[in-house]
């Protein structure tokens, strides 16, 4: 009897060993990815997947559950219904990968090559403008022995936004350009006067400078024909050192402009609630009679990233992951606005 039981037990163990267990998928995050975008890349969308991921990888995550570059994370197992969709998506992506490669030298050597990961923004056109540039560095701050210039950080964020939009099938015009400085991952971005308005020298006179970029946008807009068109202006504010401020948004007063500003602002609010629970987000939306908002013909959004004098706001500006997160969230806001437009 004992021998029979032992044989039965051994048989069960052999059978269990023969049953294939689901392999745990592991992957590295891309620069600037949060948990939501990282999981979405592998077909895992929704709050449940995010919570499972945090539980599995809690010892590998940074402050406020931030992903750390160079760390390989374990993905939560796919549910059956998602497995079918993800497999189909991967096969479709593999079959079209050669046709969907892009190259933009303005992004710099490291980031010039990119893949079009979706067609969500197909038919949309964007005009992206980083504040100041050329002879005007804009607002200036100090951190240790380093001088921080508004135009350099605004330009880096604009390039990251442009790359995100292009990866989703949008047509993008980068209005202010630097032939040498692409997307940079350093904390301290050196200042230069190389920036041009799409090849034209940028005037020092403020009105002429602003008129030049608006003229360029309006000319391109006429050439681009109809459809969804949006202009984005990014700046960094300068106020007293003790004035900490969230990202805030301006529009010209049109219904579409107000909707766009609120949509992007709500995206930021949602992201802060997700990544920094309890912190809150106080970024505001308001109508402003700014020159570029009046003169640029597309529906336009003007964003102030933070206070270049405040040591807490500087973390949002000088850390590459934070600059990428800003670009990601702006892009998500545009995606949502485009869905409403369609």
Q: Which residue has the tokens 């609630």?
A: 273
The interaxial angle of helices 320-341 and 255-275, nearest 10 deg, is 130
- The secondary structure of 132-169 as a DSSP string is SBTTB--SEEEETTEEEEHHHHHHHHHHHHHHHHHHTT
Residues 327 and 248 in one domain: yes
CA distances from 234 to 51, 128, 155, 197, 302 (A): 33, 8, 8, 15, 6
Spacing of C-alpha 95 from chain mean position: 26
Tens digit of each residue's pLDDT (9 = 90 or more) over 120-136: 999 999 999 999 999 99
Is residue 248 a contact partner of residue 324, using CB atoms and an 8 Å limit?
no
pLDDT in tens, 291-342: 999 999 999 999 999 999 999 999 999 999 999 999 999 999 999 999 999 8
Range of the domain at 58: 22-98
Q: How far apart (Å, rounded) are the C-alpha atoms in residues 267 and 281?
A: 11
200 and 337 belong to one structural domain = yes
Residue among 137, 135, 129, 291 at smallest CA distance from 203: 135
Nearest-Å Rg of the Cα atoms of the chain is 24
Number of domains in the chain: 2
pLDDT of residue 13: 43
63 and 200 assigned to the same domain: no
* pLDDT tens sequence across 260-297: 999 999 999 999 999 888 899 999 999 999 999 999 99
Give the pTM.
0.73
Q: Does residue 252 have a pLDDT over 80? A: yes
Per cent of the chain over pLDDT 90 is 74
Q: What CATH number should be reported for the domain holding residue 246?
A: 3.40.630.40
Q: Is the predicted pLDDT of residue 258 greater than 70, yes or no?
A: yes
């Amino acid at each position: 009897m004992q021998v029979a039981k032992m044989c039965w037990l051994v048989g069960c163990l052999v059978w269990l060993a023969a049953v294939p267990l689901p392999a745990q998928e592991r992957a590295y995050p891309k620069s600037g990815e949060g948990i939501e975008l990282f999981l979405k890349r592998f077909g895992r969308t929704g709050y449940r997947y995010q919570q499972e991921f945090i539980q599995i990888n809690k010892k590998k995550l940074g402050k406020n559950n931030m992903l750390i570059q160079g760390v390989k994370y374990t993905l939560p197992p796919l549910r059956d219904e998602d497995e079918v969709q993800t497999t189909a998506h991967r096969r479709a992506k593999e079959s079209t990968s050669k046709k969907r490669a892009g190259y933009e030298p303005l992004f710099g050597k490291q980031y010039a090559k990119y893949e079009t990961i979706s067609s969500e923004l197909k038919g949309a056109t964007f005009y992206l403008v980083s504040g100041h540039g050329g002879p005007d560095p804009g607002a200036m701050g100090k951190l240790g022995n380093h001088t921080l210039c508004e135009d350099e950080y605004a330009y880096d964020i604009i390039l990251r936004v442009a790359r995100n939009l292009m990866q989703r099938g949008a047509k993008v015009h980068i209005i202010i350009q630097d032939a040498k400085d692409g997307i940079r991952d350093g904390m301290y971005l050196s200042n230069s006067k190389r920036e041009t308005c799409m090849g034209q020298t940028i005037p020092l006179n403020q009105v002429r400078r602003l008129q030049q970029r608006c003229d360029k946008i309006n000319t391109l807009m006429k050439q681009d024909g109809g459809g969804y068109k949006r202009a984005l202006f990014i700046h960094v504010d300068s106020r007293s050192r003790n004035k900490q401020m969230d990202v805030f948004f301006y529009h010209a007063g049109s219904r579409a402009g107000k909707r766009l500003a609120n949509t992007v602002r709500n995206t930021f609010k949602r992201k802060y609630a997700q990544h920094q629970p309890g912190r809150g987000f106080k970024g505001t939306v308001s109508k402003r009679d700014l020159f570029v908002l009046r003169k640029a013909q597309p529906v336009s959004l003007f964003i102030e990233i933070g206070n270049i004098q405040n040591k807490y706001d500087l973390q949002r500006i000088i850390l590459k992951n934070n600059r990428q997160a800003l670009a990601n969230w702006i892009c998500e806001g545009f995606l949502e606005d485009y869905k409403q437009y369609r």
